[in-house]
Amino acid sequence: MSSWRESFRALNHRDFRLYTAGQIVSLTGSWMQGVAQSWLIYRLTHSEFMMGAVMFATHIPVLLLGPLGGMAADRFPRQRIVLITQTLALLQALTLAVLNSTGLITPKIVLVLAAVLGIANAFDIPGRQTLFIQMVGKQDLISAISLNSAIFNASRVVGPSLAGIIVAAFGETVCFGINAVSFIAMIVCVALMHLPKASAARSEGPGGFREGFLYAWSHRELRALLGICGLTGLCYAPILALAPFFADGIFHKGSAGLGFLIGAMGVGAVVGVVRLARHTGISNLPQVSLQSALILGLSLLGFGLSPWFGVSIGLMTLIGFSVMRQNSSSNSLIQYTVPDHYRGRMMALFSMVVTGLLPIGSLASGALAEAFGARAVVIAASLCCLAGALALRFAMPGFSQWVKQHEEEACAA
Q: Comparing 2-11, 65-74, 124-133, which segment has the lowest mean pLDDT?
A: 2-11
Tens-place pLDDT, residues 267-310:
888 787 777 776 666 767 778 888 888 889 898 898 888 888 88
What is the spatial distance between Cα 132 and Cα 137, in angstroms, rounded to a whole number? Answer: 7
Within 10 angstroms of residue 385's Cβ, the number of other Cβ atoms is: 26
Mean pLDDT of 124-130: 89
Q: Can you point out the beta strands (E) in 150-282?
A: none
Q: Return the C-alpha torsion angle 163, 168, 170, 176, nearest 10.
A: 30
What pLDDT score does 57 carry? Answer: 86
Using pLDDT thresholds of 50, 70 and 90, give the confidence band for residue 412. Answer: low
Using pLDDT thresholds of 50, 70 and 90, give the confidence band for residue 4. Answer: low
Question: Is 361 within 8 Å of 60 (Cβ atoms)?
Answer: no
User: Is the whole model's pTM more than 0.75, yes or no?
Assistant: yes
What pLDDT score does 154 carry? Answer: 78
User: Percentages helix, strand, coil for the chain, rounded to the nearest 5?
Assistant: 85, 0, 15
Alpha-helical segments (H) within 11-140: 14-45, 48-75, 78-101, 107-129, 132-136
CATH 1.20.1250.20 is the classification of domain 2-412: yes
Give the C-alpha distances (Å, rounded to integers) separating 232 from 24, 224, 343.
25, 12, 22
Q: Is the pLDDT of residue 124 over 90?
A: yes
Q: Is the pLDDT of residue 413 over 60?
A: no
Mean pLDDT of 80-106: 94
What is the spatial distance between Cα 262 and Cα 163, in angstroms, rounded to a whole number? Answer: 11
What pLDDT score does 53 carry? Answer: 81
What is the spatial distance between Cα 205 and Cα 201, in angstroms, rounded to a whole number? Answer: 9
Average pLDDT, the chain: 82
User: 127-147: b or e for each residue (b if 16 or more CB lie within 10 Å)?
Assistant: bbbbbbbbbbeeebbbbbbbb
Of 35, 19, 120, nearest to 72 by C-alpha is: 120
What is the spatial distance between Cα 267 and Cα 259, in angstroms, rounded to a whole number? Answer: 12
Using pLDDT thresholds of 50, 70 and 90, give the confidence band for residue 94. Answer: very high
Mean pLDDT of 163-191: 92
What pLDDT score does 411 carry? Answer: 57
Within 10 angstroms of residue 19's Cβ, the number of other Cβ atoms is: 27
Tens-place pLDDT, residues 187-210:
999 999 988 765 444 444 555 677
Domain boundary assignment for the chain? 2-412
